[in-house]
Amino acid sequence: MDVVLEARQLAKAYGVGRDALQVLGGISFSVGKGEFVSIVGPSGCGKTTLLFALAGLQKASTGTVTFNGRPVTAPPRGVAVVFQDYSRSLFPWKSNRDNVAFGMVRVEGLSSVQKRDKAQEMLEAVGLQGFEDKYPWQLSGGMQQRVAIARGLASQSELLLLDEPLAAVDAQTRADMQDLLLDLAMRFKQTCILVTHDVEEAVYMADRVVVLTRRPTVVDHEIAINLGKQRDQITTREDHRFLAARHDVMMSIRSSRTAAPATAA
């Protein structure tokens, strides 16, 4: 399998000297083309720091990230992020269609009409036909996140980084959105990395789960989820392989947490 993204001994410390806080302690993993990988870890393990380093939004202290073999030092072309805070990631002065089309702002070789058509297509793919001319603030939270996902897909990125995209929506919407994301990832053969604190979500969505330790964070272990690409909210979650994987990840996160000394600094 072609490796799309690779992190090698990624470490990040905030501050210097005695006050330095070592967040990432040397993280290594890789993601292959077309894979859906979840990254999950205990609270405060630096998931967002890791995601920003993968996206090129923030420099790591040591270690490297490579995207398609090239080192990442700034946001590379071909990587899109869907942020948790959809309401502030969308632009309230643009209609939903223009928000999605803005995902192609630096895509060359497309006329503005083609970008408009593509935006329309992506809005339909996330089930928002009829809302093209509305504004994000006229939509519910889940629908706003769909617009942000449509923008990520429209940007024709090889890799989609999902930063807890469903943490702010209600439980039922979350289940629908999980299935939507899986469906889209399959349809567009999209490579995805999902960063989440929700173990069930991590296992349900992924082909492989990367489990992190507490700070200074390293990869505790990886676990392949051999449930096929087709998932179902009811039967998959009852499958003994799903339950075994969930058990494994939860145990590992619990042992990380209980091993943690009181970190009230």
Partner 1 sequence: MGAFRFMEILAWFRAIISFLIIIVIWQSIALLGLVPEKYFPSILAIAAGFRDMVISGELVSAELRTLSRALLGVASASLLGISLAVLGDLFPSFRRGFAPIAALIQPVPPAALVPMAVFMLGLGPKLYAFIVILVTVWPPYFNGVAALASVSDVQIRTGQMLGLSRWQILRQIKLPAAMPEIFAGIRYASSISLIAVVVAEMLAGHDGLGFLLIRKAFAIRIPEVYALMFVCAVNGLIMNTAVNGLRWRFAGWQLRMAGQAA
Q: How far is the CB of 154 from partner 1 (least distance, A)?
A: 10
Minimum CB distance to partner 1 smaller for 57 or for 110: 57
Minimum CB distance to partner 1 smaller for 68 or for 236: 68
Minimum CB distance to partner 1 smaller for 25 or for 142: 142
Minimum CB distance to partner 1 smaller for 22 or for 48: 48
Q: How far is the CB of 247 from partner 1 (least distance, A)?
A: 35
Q: How far apart are CA 200 and CA 211, in angstroms?
A: 13
Minimum CB distance to partner 1 smaller for 14 or for 91: 91
- The contact set with partner 1 (CB under 8 A) reads 55, 57, 74-75, 77, 79-81, 83, 85, 88-89, 91-93, 102-103, 105-106, 135, 137-138, 155
Q: Report whether 196 contacts 37 (CB < 8 A).
A: no
Q: How far is the CB of 209 from partner 1 (least distance, A)?
A: 24
Q: How far is the CB of 106 from partner 1 (least distance, A)?
A: 4
Q: How far is the CB of 125 from partner 1 (least distance, A)?
A: 19
